[in-house]
Chain A
Amino acid sequence: MTDLRLGTYESVIGLEVHAELLTASKIFCGCSASFGAPPNQHTCPVCIGMPGMLPVLNRRVVEFAVRAGLATHCRIAPTSRWARKNYFYPDLCKGYQISQFELPICEAGYVDITVDGTAKRVRLTRIHMEEDTGKNIHDGNSSGSLVDFNRSGVPLLEIVSEPDMTWPAEAGAYLRTLRSILQYLQICDGNMEEGSFRCDANCSVRPKGSTTLGTKVEIKNMNSFRAVERAIAYELERQVRVLEEGGTLVQETRLWDPDREETRSMRSKESSHDYRYFPDPDLPPLVIPDGFVEEVQRSLPELPDARRARFVEKLGLPDYDAEVLTARRDVADYFEAVVAAHGNAKAASNWVMGDILRLVREQKLDDAPVIERWPVSAAHLGALIALIDGGTISGKIAKTVFEEMLASGDAPAAIVERKGLTQVSDEGPIVAAIDQILAANGPKVEEYRSGKDKLFGFFVGQVMKATGGKANPGLVNRILKEKLGA
């Protein structure tokens, strides 16, 4: 399962995820929460912490948090509370972050993951809502640093797991599953590089069989799933190395350096912040109105687990196909639209997993939270598969038609018509072509008949070439067999 060198030690991993929510506006003011504006364009007196400004909660944030909580089997607190987390930093405009501490909105949930075919349940401690901070910019041109408050006040969910994971691959699987759930809920775009889905890892090692936890180290600055797995692997081995060399571990925060592939100490517990959490007097306790949770529950989409199972059971797809197709809700939706257009789920799956997803990745269409523009429409792809299944074109011709669909955007039938690509299923022309080829290749016919079976492919190729690739391959095979066998 792993090639980690942990010797007589075992590892314990827990993850904290920060997911930026896809609300239109910020959590406590009306400013836009969208990415990409010039610095400090999405700001107002509230989200830059001017004197006397007060927070007003964005109701959508609560709805999104409840969605996440329900999708991860959490208990939704009827009353939760806002707290201030106090510390000084230039990107933190009020000198405190509004968060939740003692009474978070969601508690005690779980996420089911699969690693190498083995199922595992990772429990969630809590999910709470909080505001994001701004961003310090050290651009080197000015004498000081600059601060961009566009992200200040963008809503976040902090999702905290129990220390239920053992191997880096489990951490990776947990993150992928969690991200997929949030994307299905359409509450987070899950972009790790842009920082809209961020992860800190807590890990420790202990002698195998021990029931107490070892000294915990927090790792930050991991910008991809791969980085998370690499950083945890590095850190676990480092901890074992320190212990085996007779050293002791300190509780600390370490930063992952992706270039040097190592973690480096950032601060120890002794110098860690005392955040002086206390209930925020500017915000009353959050009381979830009657019926709200039920209303959100009813609006939940089919989640990845359920959809995967349905693809296997109802559509007869292999586990692997179901896994790949359901990882993103938009991909699964597209796939289902192709199936709806024609049927033949396995063929649809092959096309979507093959040509379509390759193009999607090449064209970076999946950078968007929801893929808006597909290389070809689901209806057209369904129609293309229908042409193959109906015998109008061969699978080989279909590739040509597909290229033309990409170039022109036309319906496959129109392309087939225009280019004269309709498969030849009349026996007459095929028989004529075969007779001509057999006559022209007398010596090879003899070789074949004397046992050189491999030459069958040569004859098929010649026939297809002679018919411009349009001959029905099934017919070609049957007639060739008959003639060569004679």
Chain B
Amino acid sequence: MLTDLTIAAAAERLRRGDLSAVELTRAALDRIAATDSAIHAFLTVTADEALAQAAAVDAERKTGHDRGPLAGIPIAVKDVIATKGVRTTAASKILADFVPPYDATVTRRLRDAGAVIVGKVNCDEFAMGSSNENSAFALTRNPWDLDRVPGGSSGGSAAAVAARQAFASLGTDTGGSIRLPAGYTGIVGMKPTYGRVSRFGVIAYASSLDQVGPMARDVTDCALVLQALAGHDPRDSTSVDRPVPDYGAAVARGADEGARGLRIALPREYFGGGMQPEVEAAVRAAAATFTSGGADVQDASLPHTEYAVSCYYVLAPAEASSNLARYDGIRYGLRAPADGLLDLYRKSRAAGFGPEVKRRIMLGTYVLSSGYYDAYYLKAQKVRTLIRRDFERVFADADVIVTPVAPTTAFRIGEKTADPLQMYLSDVFMISVNLAGLPGIVVPCGVDAAGMPIGLQIVGPPFGEEVVLRAARAFEAATSWHQLRPPELAEGKPPK
């Protein structure tokens, strides 16, 4: 099937002319039509726009102009990322009918690279969640087992790629939201260094942590998308003005040289406890793969790891409580019928936000309140600094850090919705990386007894995307986990 091609392979055929962007786009749209009643990855499918975009790419290619490897490749975009003229909801009722008059910078960069945007994919409301169960509109299912969650918050992005509905997707990662669903759905997902990719036009959850990144079926494809996204954006003051390296070259080096000479740290705080034994075994096996590939794997310590989740659940809600204040029913978005201004605010926000978003707004409002600020927000900022320093110390002697993605593989739908703290702990191995602003990639490294994918996280120093990609590709080249795919769905089969 065309939809099984990697981007690299599809791009080669497009370049040769024995495949058109329209054919490829039609294949993706057909695949979405055939499978999404079971997966529910998409909130909006932009079939007409996608076909028009694909036709334009084909026409342009006939004139001899080649925009590069993403030209004509169907890609899905998380619904917290603005797409001009196309509904962008953040999976929230408060933005149910919001159509932005602008593209996010990452959307614009995809378009400039010739990528074909096939639609907007589901996520937890305002990217707050670890299972995708917080969407106001749809319950996205894990293509490997429709009774399980795809992870969150970029669950639609992950499921669409895993189910071959799109060749790649954009996700956002504030506390693991690209990497966790990538791990749960057996694909590759990367959170770049904070500041590497523009946040302009990305609906903010926690601005000091949010970062857009690629999700794809292998490391090479992931690097191709990252190449298009990365770079300074004068419209985002936190984006860093620093040259963008050739990520393809870093990937090639991983394939050519393997793990030879890489110094790899295994942080002991990321193992043990309530971890699913198969997960620990798979990650240890991955470490052994690196060792046999010529890497030097050493144990290391990130002593403040245990505070990361608490720290995150102070800082991220604090920023969110402020970022989400603009959804007030005044200028756009849902406005509830009301009697007077205060009533308008109360009713619009009560009707527009789901329970998890409200919980985080309340948490954030509380920790910023007069009298509590020092004890919570300021303290958490200090912890954040300590966590960052933990990583700096380890990176003094290591090129990358390797960890599990989560204590378990994808859990069942509804399993954790009653207990928010249990849900929050899904991201226990993810969050430190956001707090420290580091690049991290997740690649598949095994399956458990139930056949669910297990992911491996590889973390690099700030702006160390190259070494992260090299290590990830080296692992991928030495294993075949990335070639596993979810069981084929019966066409249109409803979920169990």
Instruction: Mark A residues whose CB is within 8 Å of B.
Output: 45, 48-57, 84, 86, 88, 90, 93-96, 147, 274, 276-278, 281-284
Contact = CB atoms under 8 A, between A and B. Distances in A.
A398 to B, nearest CB: 59
Contacts of A90: 328, 330, 341
Given A54-B235, A54-B238, A96-B322, 13 more contacts: A49-B326, A50-B102, A51-B90, A51-B100, A52-B200, A54-B237, A55-B237, A57-B237, A86-B321, A86-B322, A88-B345, A90-B330, A283-B238
A95 B326 contact: yes
Contact of A52 (B82, B206, B325, B369): B82
A278 B88 contact: no
A93 B208 contact: no
A45 B237 contact: no
A271 B15 CA distance: 67
A45 B368 contact: no
Contact of B238 (A86, A88, A274, A284): A284
Contacts, number: 99
B352 to A, nearest CB: 13
A51 B88 contact: yes
B319 interface: yes
Interface string B306-330: 0000000000001101101110101
B365 interface: yes
A80 to B, nearest CB: 14
A90 B373 CA distance: 26
Interface size class, chain B: 35 or more
Interface centre among B203, B319, B326, B365 (most CB of A within 10 A): B326
A276 B369 contact: yes
Given A52-B100, A52-B200, A88 B328 contact: yes
B139 to A, nearest CB: 24
B235 A278 contact: no
Nearest to A275: B370
Given A95-B328, A274-B370, A281-B208, A45 B101 contact: yes
Interface string B201-238: 11110111000000000000000000000000011111
Given A86-B368, A96-B322, A278 B200 contact: no
B481 interface: no
A51 to B, nearest CB: 4
Given A90-B341, A276-B368, A282 B238 contact: yes
A276 B365 contact: yes
Contacts of A94: 325-326
A274 B201 CA distance: 29
Nearest to A94: B326
Contacts of B206: 281
10 contacts: A45-B101, A49-B326, A51-B204, A56-B236, A84-B322, A86-B368, A96-B325, A276-B368, A276-B370, A281-B319
A43 to B, nearest CB: 10
B199 interface: yes
Given A49-B331, A86-B368, A278-B318, A56 B326 contact: no
A54 B82 contact: no
A102 to B, nearest CB: 11
Contacts of B319: 278, 281
A29 to B, nearest CB: 9
A147 B331 CA distance: 9
B377 interface: yes
Contact of B234 (A48, A49, A56, A276): A56
From A50, A93, A276, name the one whose CB has the most chain B CB atoms within 10 angstroms.
A276
A266 to B, nearest CB: 16
Interface string B332-374: 1000000001000100000000000000000001001110010
B372 to A, nearest CB: 10
Contact of A284 (B104, B204, B237): B237
B98 interface: yes
A84 B323 CA distance: 10
| Closest 5 A/B residue pairs (Cβ) | A95-B325, A281-B208, A276-B368, A281-B207, A52-B201
B304 to A, nearest CB: 21
Given A45-B102, A95-B322, A274-B369, A51 B200 contact: no
B54 interface: no
B235 A56 contact: yes
Nearest to A55: B237
B10 interface: no
A54 B377 CA distance: 23
Contact of B203 (A52, A274, A278, A282): A52
Contacts of A281: 206-208, 238, 319
Nearest to A84: B322
B95 interface: yes
Nearest to B370: A274
A249 B210 CA distance: 48
Nearest to A147: B330
B322 to A, nearest CB: 5
B101 A51 contact: no
A48 B235 contact: no
Contact of B98 (A49, A51, A96): A51
Nearest to B234: A56
Contacts of B234: 56
